[in-house]
Amino acid sequence: MTSQPLNRRGFLTRVAALGLTTALGTTLAPHLARAEWNKAAFDGKSTADAMKALGASGTADSADVQILASDIAENGAVVPVQAVSKVPGTTRIAILVDKNPSTLAALFDVGPDMVADVTTRIKMGQTSNVTVLVEAGGKYFTATKEIKVTLGGCGG
Amino acid sequence: MTRRFAVGLATCLAAAGLVAGAARAEGDKTIEGIEAYREALKDGNPAELFEAQGEELWKKKAGPKNASLETCDLGMGPGVVKGAYAHLPRWFKDTDKVQDAESRVLTCMTAIQGIDVSKYVAAKWGSPEKDELNAIATWISGMSKGDKVAVSTAHPKERQMFELGKRMFYYAAGPHDFSCSTCHGQEGVRIRLQDLPYIASPKGAAAGWTSWPAYRVSSGQMWGMQWRLADCFRQQRFPEPIYGSDVTVALSMFMAATSNGATMNTPGIKR
Amino acid sequence: MRKTIAHLAALAAGLVLAGAVHAADGSWGPGADDASFQAMLKSGFRDAGIVKVSRLEQDATQAFCSDPKFAESKEAAKKRAEIEAANTATIKWPSDGNFLGDHKSGEKIAQSGRGLTSTDKADQVNGGNCYNCHQISKKEISFGTIGPSLLGYGKLKGNSEQAQRETWSKIWNSKSANACSNMPRGGHMGILSEQQVKDLLALLLDPASPVNQ
Amino acid sequence: MGNPMKIRAAAKDGITEVKVLMSHEMETGLRKDASGNTIPAWFIAEISAKLNGKQVMTAQWGPSISKNPFLSFKIKGGKAGDKVAVTWVDNKGDTRTDEASVT
């Protein structure tokens, strides 16, 4: 267990105070990933928008891409989604929720040491299509599934 | 219960017959979907994050006496946490009261750490104070995971608490005439898509008692039984039950003792 | 409504005493150890938001139904009928004689479970809580089952004045027909306005309502 | 620096499955507080994992990931006793790393 050295936190706090960070605060955040945080893609308001920002063109549905999720989510705050690609040479997997204000939920770089099989939990504001987008060898493949979001509890 | 329910609604029941076939097919699909959803959630319960916090709080020196809670007696002797939750609520000699895990922790915070717990009792749900209490209860409950519920009603005060809880369960009041039993007084019904355990039955009591504290995915919050009960009362349109008060312990006693023999599955995960 | 409660509280006090006799066989339950129970209620709750502890005071119907074993018994038959009659007497019929409002508004009221909780504001428009317990429109798959399905309700029941009056009395004061119904007394307890009850009636009875499609 | 993560890593048939629970609010930036002010976005933006010090997984997240996030992924190779380290960085620049042994 290691935690952030205090001096850098202090620095970031000061930076934030000066208003140098953007609304999403990513400009000066340290980067672990190879790529910069893809603001344009995460700002996408629809699947088409986000795909465009990700450079995905000529996408095609593929049986080698799987989206595993229940048909109905009892609560939109937590919707488990598993994304699997059997496409050889998969390098990226994205999970997109068409009707969310921020359509792109997650973007995984699939390196040589990784199996193209990831599970996470997403928020869904309403019933929507959820798409798994896979990039392999410069080509793009998708699988889409509608997940219904229901109102649970007493609504009070 | 079934009878009084049926009387006034006979006409409506006839209407239901008309469409039951179509509704059932649709309903089955819905239930299947919900089952799959619940199954997927079980894989990683964020309650674990709160258990870790609770353990840390238990072991951390705090309060005017700068002491940890590690000598707190939860009924199995000072410092024994393993298995304690499965035997709570119970009567404690030092307080001459029946206490659940959460009210007992308040006693220990007062006696061992010298903390004035009134601020914890008064604090709103979701406040840092209540979050601490919830985390501690979560950890304590996890230390009984897999144990059989074994709550005693042998002591007269335990017996009394059980009976008072049972009576409270059926107490109807407020603008909606709701009691606990309005929703939890019969087998196999639900609110919206939420299954409602019939808490006066051993199976239903177990479904409730053995799965709280639970992580609520709807709010991303960790709820102990005290919070669970408080929110039931809120939706019953009742005033707010005071944290750790007899009325909350009595209901817990009724539920826990009714579920005796069931296996603790805490902390749980819920919608 | 407050007046009614105060009035009925007196009745309730009488009932509680009667209960003590019924529980004299040594068992617990209502009537037994009443002092402890009242002390527990008094020390166990506090005001929260718009909800005051005075809400714990029961009217005669609530007190009677809080002992379901007795309330369902043969001995209680007379009392049950009295309670139903008292509740029937509270029903206020639509002031302009029109029973049916707008079914679309009715659907919204049926969907809403808001109102009168400690986290609601005083100006919150109360919902009917209907879908919490009933299937109503086919489109809504998230419905409860504490009450019977109301899908096709008007199709079966028709839209005669008698059907309207029966449905109105059920929503206005459910305890008029069944002393200990699980259903709230929407009109009587001031949960729903007259217009809201009209809209709910339209949802259930209007041939154009999705309930009857 | 947030609260500790919970990491479980289990090796089976040459694949190590890693399950991670993180403690984070994951605010969308769209919600309003009681007084009507927008609660600023605050979410884990980047996440990565190392197996015995070698980077094996990187991802970018947006505010559509649930509060107290859960992530499960699979690494080729790995055996009991290997170390899996997971690091997140949020949009405020806060970061946390936790480690677990493969079982």
Give the tens place of pLDDT for each residue, C80-132: 999 999 999 999 999 999 999 999 999 999 999 999 999 999 999 999 999 99
Q: What is the pLDDT of residue C33?
A: 78
Percent of chain B with pLDDT over 90: 81
Question: Cβ distance C177 to C163 under 8 Å?
Answer: no
Q: Which residues on chain A are in Cβ contact (under 8 Å) with B41?
A: 78, 80
User: Sheet harboring D70-76: ordered strands across?
Assistant: A65-68, A79-85, A114-122, D70-76, D15-21, D6-12
Mean pLDDT of B203-208: 97
Comparing CB atoms, the residue among C119, C145, C177 nearest residue B234 is C119
The whole-angstrom separation of Cα A106 and Cα C23 is 63
Domain enclosing residue D76, as ranges: 6-29+36-101
Q: Reply yes or no on whether B108 is catalytic.
A: no
Contacting subunits of B (3+ beta carbon pairs below 8 A): A, C, D
- pLDDT band, very low/low/confident/very high, at C22 (cuts 50, 70, 90): very low
What CATH superfamily is the domain B47-270?
Cytochrome c-like domain (1.10.760.10)
Provide the pLDDT for residue A117.
98
Q: What integer pLDDT is reported at residue D27 of this predicted model? A: 95
Residue B256 CA to residue D83 CA, distance in Å, equals 42
* Beta-carbon count within 10 A of A148 CB: 17
**Residue B35 pLDDT class (50, 70, 90 cuts):** confident
CB < 8 Å from D in window 52-81 of B: 52-53
User: Which residue stretches of chain D have pLDDT < 50?
Assistant: none
By Cβ distance, the residue of B37, B41, B192 closest to A151 is: B192
Instruction: Identify whether D68 is part of a domain.
Output: yes
Q: What is the mean pLDDT of residues C129-141?
A: 95
pLDDT at A151: 65
| pLDDT of B31 | 78
Among A96-110, B33-47, B170-184, C185-199, where is mean pLDDT lowest? B33-47
Residue B115: its pLDDT value, please? 98
Mean pLDDT of B221-236: 97
Confidence (pLDDT) at B33? 84
CB contact under 8 A, A152 and B40: no
Taking the C-alpha atoms of residue D2 and residue D22, their distance in angstroms, rounded to an integer, is 9
* B220 close to D (CB below 8 A): yes
**Least CA distance to B40: which residue of chain A?**
A80
Token pair of C202 as six digits:
């339209």
Neighbours of B213 (CB within 10 A): 32
Count up the domains in chain D and report the number: 1
**Per-residue confidence at B43, pLDDT binned at 50, 70, 90?**
confident
Q: Would the CB atoms of B271 and A75 count as touching at under 8 Å?
A: yes
Percent of chain D with pLDDT over 90: 90
Q: What does the pLDDT read at residue C29?
A: 52
H or E, element range at C28: none
- Tell me if C142 and A150 make a contact (CB, 8 A cut-off): yes
**SS3 track for B58-104:** HHCCECCCCECCCCCECCCCECCCCCCHHHCCEEECCCCEEECHHHH
**Measured distance CA(D45)–CA(C11) in Å, rounded:** 63
In whole angstroms, what separates CA A110 from the centre of its chain? 13
User: What number of CA atoms fall less than 13 Å from residue B258's CA on the CB side?
Assistant: 25
- Tell me which chain C residues have a C-beta less than 8 angstroms from the C-beta of A154: 113, 129, 132
Cα torsion through C140, C145, C147, C148, rounded to 10: 70
D67 domain-assigned: yes
In a domain, D1, yes or no: no
**Which pLDDT score, from 0 to 100, does residue A35 have?**
58
Nearest to D75 among A25, A103, A113 (CB): A113
Domains and CATH numbers, chain A: 39-149 (2.60.40.2470)
Give the neighbours of chain C: at least 3 Cβ pairs within 8 Å: A, B
Average pLDDT across chain B, whole number: 90
Band of pLDDT at residue B25, cut at 50, 70 and 90: low
The torsion angles phi and psi of C202, rounded to 5 degrees, stand at: -65, -40
State the Cα–Cα distance between residues B30 and B120, nearest whole angstrom.
41
Per-residue confidence (pLDDT) for residue D49, from 0 to 100: 97
The whole-number pLDDT of residue B257 equals: 98
pLDDT value for C169: 98
Beta carbons within 10 angstroms of residue C72's beta carbon:
17
**C131: closest chain A residue by CA:** A154
Least confident range of A34-38, B181-185, B216-220, D85-89: A34-38
Measured CA to CA, the distance from residue B168 to residue B231 in angstroms comes to: 15
- Per-residue pLDDT band at B40 (split at 50, 70, 90): confident
Helix (H, G, I), strand (E, B) or coil at C171: helix
Residue A21 has what pLDDT? 37
Greatest CA span in chain B, whole angstroms?
Answer: 69
Asked if A103 reaches chain D (Cβ–Cβ under 8 Å), the answer is yes
Token look-up 């799959």 returns B36
| Model confidence at C60: pLDDT above 70 | yes
Please say whether the beta carbons of C19 and B147 come within 8 A.
no
DSSP state at residue A144: E
Name the one residue in this structure whose structure tokens are 């979560």: B138
Query: For residue B100, which of B226, B228, B230 has the smallest C-alpha distance?
Result: B226
Residue B200 pLDDT:
96
Average pLDDT over residues C39-56: 97
The 10s digit of each residue's pLDDT in B110-140 is 999 999 999 999 999 999 999 999 999 999 9
Nearest to B159 by CA among B91, B221, B218, B211: B91
Which chain D residues are Cβ-neighbours of B52 within 8 angstroms? 3-4, 6
What residue of A is the nearest CA neighbor of D59? Answer: A108
φ/ψ of residue D96, rounded to 5:
-155, 140
Q: pLDDT band at residue C32, thresholds of 50, 70 and 90?
A: low
pLDDT for the residue numbered B93: 98
Evaluate whether A109 touches A33 at the Cβ level (below 8 Å): yes
Q: What is the pLDDT of residue D11?
A: 97
pLDDT of A140 reads 97
The parts of chain A modelled with pLDDT lower than 70 are 1-35, 151-156
Instruction: Indicate yes or no: CB of A70 within 8 angstroms of CB of B36.
Output: yes
Residue D55: give its domain's CATH number.
2.60.40.10
Q: Closest residue of D to A119, CA-based? A: D72
What pLDDT was estimated at residue A128? 95
Question: Is D80 domain-assigned?
Answer: yes
How confident is the model over B47-58, as a mean pLDDT? 97
DSSP line for chain B = -HHHHHHHHHHHHHHHHHHHHHHHHHHHHHHHHHHHHHHHHTT--THHHHHHHHHHHHHS-BTTTTB-STT-BSSSSBT--TTTGGG-SEEETTTTEEE-HHHHHHHHHHHHH---THHHHHSPTTSHHHHHHHHHHHHHHHTTTTPBP-----SHHHHHHHHHHHHHHT--BTTTTB-HHHHHSSTTEEETTEEE--TTSHHHHHHHHTT-SEEETTTTEEE-HHHHHHHHHHHTT--EEPTT-HHHHHHHHHHHHHTTTPBP--SEEE-
> Tokens for C85?
């009659």
Query: Domain boundaries in chain B?
Result: 1-41, 47-270
* pLDDT of B228 over the 50 cut: yes
Report the alpha-carbon distance of residue A85 to residue A132 in Å, rounded.
9
